[in-house]
């Protein structure tokens, strides 16, 4: 209530009251004066004239009130002159307000529906995000598996290529073996039909090449090897047989000459002429040249082995014991660097007469004997080791000491 009193335009009310009072007072004074003076308007009686003045004064009061209100208040002016227009506007605005209220209700309903749909979409989004996270994890796992598979594939491809190379190598080896089998078969047929003069892998001849020898000296040494080989093979031929030609492989000869070089070899070398395959009577002897470094292994007189032997053995037992000791010397010489004979596997030579003299001395002696094996001459890497046997009795052993 107090708030409504505060909203009233008290100044306007006071002005209206004062104006009304002034106009009423002026009209009353004017009516009294007209009545006293008995003024008549339009031929009316003074009493009626006074009433008309009073009525006109009331009219002026009303007009003055309206004029003041219209001048000072837009609301009153609008109510007086535009009331129907305002009413129409109010009706239209009310209709629009109802429509807007209905539309707002519809929007609120749609908002509620949209909120529910939004909540559902959010839940769906959360599910999609979870599925996306699971998919990303699965994708990472699949990528790792793919990388692992690619690595395994690369390894498998490398293994396949390696196996293919191995298959090619085995096929080439099989072809080579088939060729070797065919060669051996032909060689066997030749063996059955003829006589083998040279065996595959046999050292036909060998010749030392001094330190510093150059390519020219090497070529001269190869020619000497060929000549020696011809002499060795000629000795094996039956009487009346034609000489067998010795051929040296060009590849092996070129490798040897390249190894020695124009400047000469810094080491002592030994050249070997080795048979590449079996050679039957009447065939050409296929050979290859090998160049090996040669160093001094034993000086002449070097004691290779000393063993005690019990005298009084039988000839067979004494011979077997000597073979056993010589085999031991063979192993020692091999360990010291002497090359074995490719066919016999031995490294030394011993005169047969010396061997049997030692056997007889062991068989005929009593007590413990001492067998001394020494190098008969200076021995190099290519060998062979020429050995000497010395059987000492106890008396000879004491005299030596």
pLDDT reading at 143 higher than 80:
yes
* Last residue of one domain, picked from the residues 279, 294, 309: 294
pLDDT score, position 25: 73
Mean pLDDT for 15-33 is 69
Q: What is the pLDDT of residue 183?
A: 63
Residues 373 and 282 in one domain: no
If pLDDT is split at 50, 70 and 90, which confidence band does 395 have? low
Domain-embedded: residue 89: no
Output the pLDDT for position 8: 55
Domain final position from 81, 100, 124? 81
230 and 265 share a domain? yes
Let me know whether 312 and 371 are in one domain.
yes
pLDDT: which is higher, 10 or 288: 288
- Summarised one tens digit per residue, pLDDT across range 240-295 is 777 888 888 888 878 877 777 755 667 787 888 888 888 777 788 888 888 777 77
Q: What pLDDT sits at residue 343?
A: 59
Residues 337, 286 share a domain: no
Contacts (Cβ under 8 Å, ≥6 apart) of 80: 66, 70
Task: Tell me how far apart the alpha carbons of residues 221 and 298 are, in angstroms, rounded to a whole number.
Answer: 24
Q: Is 92 contained in some domain?
A: no
Of 18, 56, 59, nearest to 34 by C-alpha is 56
Q: Is 170 helix (H, G, I), strand (E, B) or coil?
A: helix
Is residue 29 one of the residues assigned to a domain?
yes
Ranges 67-76, 121-130, 244-253, 327-336: which has the least confidence? 67-76
**Residue 365 forms part of a structural domain:** yes
Residue 6 — pLDDT band, cuts 50, 70, 90? low
Is residue 39 situated within a structural domain? yes
The pLDDT tens digits for 194-217 are: 577 778 778 888 888 787 777 777
Task: Identify whether 339 is part of a domain.
Answer: yes
Same structural domain, 248 and 213? yes
- Give the mean model confidence (pLDDT) for residues 52-61: 72
- Percent residues over pLDDT 90 in the chain: 0
Residue 344 has pLDDT above 80, yes or no: no
> Which domain, by its residues, includes 15?
9-81
List the single range of 45-49, 176-180, 300-304, 328-332 with lowest mean pLDDT: 45-49
Q: How many domains does the chain have?
A: 3
CA 366 remoteness from chain centre:
78
Residue 138 within any structural domain of the chain: no
Higher-pLDDT residue of 77 and 254 is 254
Average pLDDT over residues 70-81: 64
Confidence of residue 101 (pLDDT cuts 50, 70, 90): confident
Mean pLDDT of 348-356: 76
User: What number of helices (H) and strands (E) belong to the chain?
Assistant: 10, 12
Choose the most confident range, by mean pLDDT, from 30-39, 67-76, 103-112: 103-112
Min mean pLDDT across 21-30, 34-43, 173-182 is at 34-43
Q: What is the mean pLDDT of residues 133-156?
A: 86
Other residues' Cβ atoms within 10 Å of the Cβ of residue 49: 20
Contacts of the segment 27-35: beta carbons below 8 A, 24+ positions apart: 27/53, 27/54, 27/56, 27/57, 27/58, 27/60, 27/61, 28/54, 28/57, 30/57, 31/57
In our burial notation (b when 16+ CB lie closer than 10 A, e otherwise), range 363-375 reads bebeeebbbbbbb
Classified as helix, coil or strand, 205 is strand
- pLDDT number for residue 263: 59
Query: Is residue 35's pLDDT more than 60?
Result: yes
Banded pLDDT at 80 (limits 50, 70, 90) = low
pLDDT at residue 227 greater than cutoff 60: yes
Residue 68 lies in a domain: yes
pLDDT of residue 77: 62
Q: Which has the higher per-residue pLDDT, 139 or 68?
A: 139
Residues 289 and 229 in one domain: yes
* Residue 359 sits in the same domain as residue 313: yes
Which of 294, 314, 339 is the C-terminal boundary of a domain? 294
For every residue of 243-269, DSSP letters joined together read: PPPEEE-HHHHHHHHHHH-TT--SS-E
Question: Which contacts qualify for 301-306: CB closer than 8 Å, 24 or more apart?
Answer: 301/374, 301/375, 302/374, 302/375, 303/372, 303/373, 303/374, 304/329, 304/332, 304/333, 304/373, 304/374, 304/375, 304/385, 304/387, 305/329, 305/332, 305/371, 305/372, 305/373, 306/370, 306/371, 306/372, 306/373
């Amino acid at each position: 209530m107090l708030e409504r009193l505060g909203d009233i335009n008290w100044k306007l009310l006071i002005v209206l009251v004062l104006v009304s009072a002034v106009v009423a007072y002026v009209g009353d004074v004017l009516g009294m004066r007209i009545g006293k003076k008995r003024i008549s308007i339009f031929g009316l009686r003074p009493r009626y004239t006074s009433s008309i003045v009073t009525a006109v004064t009331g009219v002026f009061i009303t007009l003055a009130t309206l004029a003041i209100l219209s001048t000072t208040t837009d609301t009153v002016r609008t109510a007086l002159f535009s009331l129907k227009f305002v009413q129409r506007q109010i009706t239209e605005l009310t209709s629009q307000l109802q429509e807007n209220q209905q539309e707002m209700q519809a929007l609120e309903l749609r908002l509620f529906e949209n909120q529910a749909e939004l909540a559902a979409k959010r839940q769906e989004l959360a599910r999609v995000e979870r599925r996306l996270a699971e998919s990303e994890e699965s994708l990472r796992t699949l990528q790792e598996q793919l990388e692992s598979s690619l690595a395994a594939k690369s390894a498998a491809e490398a293994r396949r290529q390696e196996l293919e190379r191995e298959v090619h190598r085995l096929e080439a080896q099989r072809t080579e073996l088939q060729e070797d089998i065919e060669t051996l078969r032909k060689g066997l047929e030749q063996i059955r039909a003829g006589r083998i003069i040279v065996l595959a892998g046999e050292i036909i001849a060998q010749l030392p090449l001094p330190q510093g020898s150059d390519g020219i000296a090497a070529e001269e040494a190869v020619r000497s090897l060929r000549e020696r080989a011809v002499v060795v093979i000629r000795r094996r031929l039956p009487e009346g047989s034609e000489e067998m030609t010795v051929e040296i492989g060009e590849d092996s000869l070129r490798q040897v000459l390249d190894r020695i070089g124009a400047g000469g070899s810094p080491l002592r070398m030994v050249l070997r002429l080795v048979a590449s395959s079996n050679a039957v009577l009447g065939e050409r002897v296929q050979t290859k040249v090998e160049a090996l470094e040669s160093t001094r292994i034993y000086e002449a007189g070097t004691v290779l082995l000393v063993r005690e032997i019990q005298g009084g053995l039988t000839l067979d037992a004494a011979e077997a014991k000597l073979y056993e000791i010589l085999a031991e010397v063979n192993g020692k010489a091999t360990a010291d660097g002497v090359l074995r004979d490719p066919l016999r596997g031995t490294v030394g030579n011993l005169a047969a007469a010396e061997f049997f003299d030692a056997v007889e001395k062991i068989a005929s002696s009593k007590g413990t004997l001492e067998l001394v094996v020494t190098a008969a001459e200076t021995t190099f890497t290519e060998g062979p080791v020429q050995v000497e046997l010395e059987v000492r009795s106890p008396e000879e052993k004491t005299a030596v000491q």
